[in-house]
Structure 1
């Protein structure tokens, strides 16, 4: 069911009224209306569009979904697309929820694709900021953007924690290279997805703050500036984490290569040691007379040579840390 609210001078005066009553509530010049639609059909959106005079292209974008974060300007209203995000720690995947907003001078209409975006948490934030609500649609939009950016911040913070754990696992003596590599790719994929969501938000918030648009009043400008600062921090943090994950992947490959070199050295060293008795026994196994042939002294001599040369090679390889 659609959710609705009506504010007058920042005070909530009505809620959960029918969508076709939106225009009636807006007859009061001091009234501000909020409408929320969850997974609506084109018919439901058209009802709101008729009530508020929304542009056909914006309505189609909201109905189709899968839009990039953006702010489109139309005659009489603006259209916002953004995403809520949350990191699934177990799988390392980023769960996103698409949300659109139609912004008019007296109304804010939010359109959600599913229940991923917590609208109750947003309402709680609005109720906790009663002093800002009196500034109209700009205040409601600030609450929405601030809520979304906070989720972006929490997601990138969770990714940072996961990458720190991955670093510890990378240098663990009992670490499994396959697990580290798989987890690295999962986190890198989530960071790429988060970057696609976060990076365009700089342009969105920056455009809203332009004075020629007139949506953000002087009283709200510091609050939007704070949101913009958070967007920049999340963007820079995401970029640095992407570089860090790439470094982890390269380091993991380097560690595996170094371990392979160590194993190769050990195998080569043991092969060299084994080659000594093989060579000596092979020499004395010739079907020809040689010093000590068919005598006990020949067996003793060959045994001494095998033990002495093998011990000498073992000590030499051990000294070079090849064994």
Structure 2
């Protein structure tokens, strides 16, 4: 459904009920644009709006289906389809949640279609009032504002993931020597999954924003390119951070598995040492338990304490040997 319509023109920024008349005024005056905000629209509603704005059917199909990869496509020269994957970080669950925001950007209009949860755009609209130069009251200025807000939030999510990674590293690498940390493989895989979720939103957007910075798509003028180049710089740095997180998590997982392997080897040595010490009394008892006729110790008064002493002596010798070698 349409949640609101706004217009930016020579009179400033205001909310309007009749966006079609406002759009006609912008087109007639050659400046300004109309912003139409939609939230989870049904296909029929989206198609009616597409017919009124003469949007390309392939672009409308992408917006209807949803679940698209982040991208920027150009249709008919001056109309852009922009698919973004805004991210939200949940502090309670330490998880990354992905939204979907689709924009249709024309010379005098912007249509925003939100899916998968609330994506605040109010601050973007207010920032357009304070914009100067080529960003003020233009649809490409609105596109820049949305991209800038989404990428800035990528940075916030990357910071939160970095904090989680630092905590995980501290717990894994500060474990006492020979002991396994309190981290399990499932926790490492969970964070790796969240980082991958962020990477899928960030990485595909780099090349489309780079094409805007180079002025290869849409009506990006030479004066607008530095603004998109600034967004690209932040985006590339965030992509590098997220990729470094994935590499670090792979290393952390390797270290954790090595710790587990070392601990298992130590446990196996302990079990083997105790089994060896238990074997000696069993062996001696088994020999003297065979009751052969010609076994002098059986008739000896001190045979029983001798056998017990021999068992104890051998066990003590073995215990000292295993202790000295680090098996116990």
Please indicate, yes or no, whether the TM-score normalized by the shorter chain is above 0.5. yes
What does residue range 100-179 of structure 1 map to in structure 2 within 5 Å? Answer: 100-129=102-131, 133-134=135-136, 136-170=138-172, 172=175
1:309 matched to 2:314? The reply is: yes
In the alignment, structure 2 segments of 5+ residues that lack a partner are none
Residues 21/64 of structure 1: CA separation in 2 closer, same or farther (3 Å cut)? farther
Q: In the alignment, is residue 221 of structure 1 matched against residue 225 of structure 2?
A: yes
Superposed, 1:289-300 pairs within 5 Å as 289-300=294-305
Q: Give the structure 2 partner of residue 201 of structure 1.
A: 205
Moved more, 117-126 or 73-82: 117-126
Q: Does the 8 Å CA contact 1:25/1:33 hold for their aligned counterparts?
A: no
Shift of 1:53: 2.4
The match for 1:39 is 40
Structure 1 gap segments, 5+ residues each: none
Q: 1:319 aligns with which of 320, 324, 327?
A: 324
Counterpart for residue 61 of structure 2: 60
Indicate the larger mover: 97-106 or 133-142: 133-142
Deviates more, 1:41-50 or 1:148-157: 41-50
> Secondary structure of the equivalent of 2:296?
coil
Q: Deviations over 1:23-60 (max 9, x none)?
A: 32322212222221111223332343344322122122
Distance 1:239 1:96 in 2: 18
Tell me which residue corresponds to 1:265. 269
User: Using the alignment, how far apart are the partners of 1:183 and 1:148 within structure 2?
Assistant: 28
SS in 1 for 2:96: strand
Deviation for aligned residue 1:229: 1.1
How far 1:250 sits from its partner (Å)?
Answer: 2.4
Number of aligned residue pairs: give it: 321
CA distance in 2, matches of 1:256, 1:300: 44
Structure 1 pair 212–295 and aligned structure 2 pair: CA distance change class (3 A): closer
Provide the C-alpha distance between the structure 2 equivalents of 1:14 and 1:292, rounded to a whole number of angstroms: 110
Q: Is the 8 A contact 1:19 1:47 kept in 2?
A: no
Deviation by residue 1:160-192 (Cα, 9 ceiling, x = unmatched)? 211222223335469776x62222222222222
Instruction: Judge conservation of contact 2:154–2:238 (CA < 8 Å) in 1.
Output: yes
Please give the alpha-carbon distance, in whole angstroms, between the structure 1 residues aligned to 2:8 and 2:75: 24
